Structure 1
Amino acid sequence: MPRIPNRTILNAYRQDPLLPLLFQECRSLSLAKNELRWLRDRAVHMAQLNLAKGAVASKYPFHGWRSLLRSMCRARSRGLPLQYILGDQPFGNLDIRCERGVLIPRPETETFTFHAADLILHDMLNNRHFPAEDRAKCLRIIDLCTGTGCISLLLHALIAPHVQEMSILGVDISATAIGLARKNLVHNIRRGYLSDNALMDITFRQGNVLDDIRDILGSSIHTGPPDVIISNPPYISQQSFGDGTTTRSVRKFEPRIALVPPKDDCMSELPLNRQEDIFYYHILALSFRLKTSLVMLECGDLSQGKRVATLCNDLAAEYSQVGNLRICIWPAADSGLQCSEPCVVIVQRYD
């Protein structure tokens, strides 16, 4: 990482003595200014809350918001992600709480979730391949590796007003993530961003996607197979995580378990060349067994997306389901997608 010129740092200091602290992560003056503004707003807000509560003995009384701001900036200079400091992250029209130990929602995931909602509402529910009698039934969605629950919650906000009934199950191996997802569900209902029905429609359950996922899903499969499986699984390779490709902030502070797939002793028995693709194999195999109508899998880059699409074709042949599938990568390569940018593999079934 190139050094920031001393002249640039001096210029930032003259504008605000705290800006050089933020430079260590932001690497640009405009971004550092934005982060300083967000941190200052949050510090003042927290100090006002303490004052309103009469917290005279609080560590940060109202007149001490500047001390709180300095401590926030120091934490940011050590690489602590901004979302962990602020405690939340916008995701669509939702307010997603963020805590250490749970992956922070990414803007790309937000974009992909909006696209998933469009496909469900306009391609799947209104498509002639999805019979009218089925549209009146409960729409079932499974969100694997749910993390904060952001995908499940945003899908409900976007789709629930347009369907008679829906059920969303979010699964994650981390008890910390499941606890936070449940907090986010209640938090967004209280804020009015989700309808009260979300409390009944959305369930979060702890489980390992690499195990027999059917045992984890349990009774949800007995009520009918899922119409949609969506996932943003761990997809970073061991090498990329350790060679500097993954940013310092992510390596140091975000949970490795949500980023890098674990080593699998059975890897040699699977039709995979890359360890980082293992979640896709298990999720796709599950979708073929359950004959899921729509599968959306976020991938780290276009190269991985192509591998996952090829894997999907291979599994379709293995399960004798080649003729009724449409497999594509979104955004398409000719749409300007850069090779290093995340993408989504979409599998649509037409029976």
Structure 2
Amino acid sequence: MPRIPNRTILNAYQQDPLLPLLFQECRSLSLAKNELRWLRDRAVQVAQLNLAKRTVRSKYFIGWRGLLRSMCRARSRGLPLQYILGDQPFGNLDIRCKRGVLIPRPETETFTFHAASLILHDMLKNGRSPTENRATCLRILDLCTGTGCISLLLHALIAPHVQRTSILGVDISATAIGLARKNLIYNIRRGYLSDTALMDITFRQGNVLDIHDIFGSSIHTGPPDVIISNPPYISQKSFRDGTTTRSVRRFEPRIALVPPKGEYMSELPLNRQEDIFYYHILSLSFRLKTSLVVLECGDRLQGTRVAALCNDLASEFEQVGNLHICIWPAADESMTGGDLQYSEPCVVIVQRYG
């Protein structure tokens, strides 16, 4: 990582003594200024709330300046901004964030919008779903749901156009499921989600690598029309060698980033541990004959492997003829200066016709 020139640090200090602290993670003056503004706004807000709860101001009360200094020091140690602020915008929603749960990414937001577009303009309007009543009842399964951001945004985008929407979010982490449920209530109370979301969306703890742990003894709500997932997909090597940023390695949950070793890899036709979730999710989608599957991948090379895996499984399940498999964004949409952006996240999309 290149050193920041002393002149730049001195210039920042003259503008605000807290700015150099933020340079540890921001690495640019403009971004540091933005973060300082967001942190100051939140410090003032928290201090006002704390003051409003007190009838008498004690000597232990911390004003907004003290809170701001504390926030900046935490940021300088690499603590992600979203954990400090406590939230992250996601579409028109406000997603609460906390330690122990993966922070929603901008690319995941983009992929969720694209998934909603596919559902509304392809599955429903063009009548390509094999079940006749799909326009009146749409079932979505969100695996590795984390904060619940994908489930909640899909409901906000799709529910107004469908008579009945049923969304099940599954995650192995009890902390994540608890936060997802809080995000559901929080966004309903703020008016970002309709009241029907409380009945339409369910979050359940379960192991995505075990089909029985996902559904229990039966799929009592019916098989899903859509499976969507942003699973752990980082390799052990990438997690250790500096490819993954310091703040992610130190503060975000490893369980949401790196697939587990051990029993789930045995006897599977996989060469890479980081692809294990895709094998299990795709196998599940073929068993249930799901109409649409959207899987976020770490980069285009992984996406290519997942697409090839999907083709292999289609042959195994004898479901080749009615499938369309693609990687989005397409290669020509990822061109910058003539070079493919292989390192950028993408999604593998599997659509079933007929």
Gaps of at least 5 residues in structure 1 are none
Corresponding residue for 1:76? Answer: 75
Asked if 1 retains the 8 angstrom alpha-carbon contact of 2:207 and 2:213, the reply is no
- Distance in 1 (CA, whole Å) between partners of 2:218 and 2:126 is 25
Corresponding residue for 1:193? Answer: 192
Q: Between the two proteins, what is the percent identity of the paired residues? A: 86
Given residue 244 of structure 1, which amino acid in structure 2 is its aligned partner?
G
- Aligned 1:252-291 pairs, distance under 5 A: 252-291=250-289
Aligned residue pairs total: 348
Question: What is the aligned counterpart of 2:333 among 310, 320, 335?
Answer: 335
Given residue 334 of structure 2, which amino acid in structure 1 is its aligned partner?
G
Q: 1:49 Cα deviation (Å)?
A: 1.0
Q: 1:136 Cα deviation (Å)?
A: 4.2
Corresponding residue for 1:134? Answer: 133
Provide the secondary structure at the position in 2 that maps to 1:135.
Answer: coil
Given residue 346 of structure 1, which amino acid in structure 2 is its aligned partner?
I
| Per-residue CA distance 1:25-68 (angstroms, 9 max, x = gap) | 0001110000000000000111111222226248544xx21111
Corresponding residue for 1:35? Answer: 35
| 1:218 matches 2:216 | yes
Question: What is the aligned counterpart of 1:347 among 343, 346, 350?
Answer: 350
Taking a change above 3 Å as real, the CA distance of residues 268 and 223 of structure 1, as seen in their structure-2 partners, is closer
Q: 1:116 Cα deviation (Å)?
A: 0.5
- Aligned 1:166-245 pairs, distance under 5 A: 166-211=165-210, 213-218=211-216, 221-245=219-243
- Distance in 1 (CA, whole Å) between partners of 2:292 and 2:59 is 51
Taking a change above 3 Å as real, the CA distance of residues 10 and 220 of structure 1, as seen in their structure-2 partners, is farther
| Per-residue CA distance 1:260-308 (angstroms, 9 max, x = gap) | 0010335241111110000000000000000000000000000000000
Given residue 156 of structure 2, which amino acid in structure 1 is its aligned partner?
A
Asked if 2 retains the 8 angstrom alpha-carbon contact of 1:60 and 1:68, the reply is no
Provide the secondary structure at the position in 1 that maps to 2:248.
Answer: helix
- Which has the larger displacement, 46-55 or 140-149? 46-55
Asked if 1 retains the 8 angstrom alpha-carbon contact of 2:234 and 2:257, the reply is yes
Corresponding residue for 1:65? Answer: 64
Taking a change above 3 Å as real, the CA distance of residues 246 and 60 of structure 1, as seen in their structure-2 partners, is farther
Q: TM-score, normalised by structure 2?
A: 0.95
Taking a change above 3 Å as real, the CA distance of residues 68 and 155 of structure 1, as seen in their structure-2 partners, is same
- Distance in 1 (CA, whole Å) between partners of 2:58 and 2:194 is 38
Corresponding residue for 2:338? Answer: none
Taking a change above 3 Å as real, the CA distance of residues 109 and 60 of structure 1, as seen in their structure-2 partners, is farther
| 1:111 matches 2:110 | yes
| Per-residue CA distance 1:89-129 (angstroms, 9 max, x = gap) | 00000000000000000000000000010000001111232
Given residue 139 of structure 1, which amino acid in structure 2 is its aligned partner?
L
| 1:15 matches 2:15 | yes
Q: 1:214 Cα deviation (Å)?
A: 3.7
Gaps of at least 5 residues in structure 2 are 336-340
Asked if 1 retains the 8 angstrom alpha-carbon contact of 2:209 and 2:264, the reply is no
Corresponding residue for 1:323? Answer: 321
- Which has the larger displacement, 93-102 or 121-130? 121-130
- Which has the larger displacement, 177-186 or 2-11? 2-11
- Distance in 2 (CA, whole Å) between partners of 1:266 and 1:209 is 11
| Per-residue CA distance 1:310-331 (angstroms, 9 max, x = gap) | 0000000000000000000000
- Distance in 1 (CA, whole Å) between partners of 2:136 and 2:108 is 28
- Which has the larger displacement, 329-338 or 196-205? 329-338
Q: TM-score, normalised by structure 1?
A: 0.96
Corresponding residue for 1:3? Answer: 3
Taking a change above 3 Å as real, the CA distance of residues 219 and 153 of structure 1, as seen in their structure-2 partners, is farther
| Per-residue CA distance 1:152-189 (angstroms, 9 max, x = gap) | 00000000000000100000000000000000000000
What is the root-mean-square deviation of aligned Cα atoms in Å?
1.4
- Distance in 1 (CA, whole Å) between partners of 2:119 and 2:286 is 18
Asked if 1 retains the 8 angstrom alpha-carbon contact of 2:23 and 2:32, the reply is yes
Corresponding residue for 1:54? Answer: 54
Provide the secondary structure at the position in 1 that maps to 2:222.
Answer: coil
- Distance in 1 (CA, whole Å) between partners of 2:59 and 2:148 is 32
Asked if 2 retains the 8 angstrom alpha-carbon contact of 1:60 and 1:67, the reply is no
Given residue 32 of structure 1, which amino acid in structure 2 is its aligned partner?
A
- Distance in 2 (CA, whole Å) between partners of 1:58 and 1:244 is 44
Given residue 162 of structure 2, which amino acid in structure 1 is its aligned partner?
V
- Distance in 2 (CA, whole Å) between partners of 1:79 and 1:220 is 44
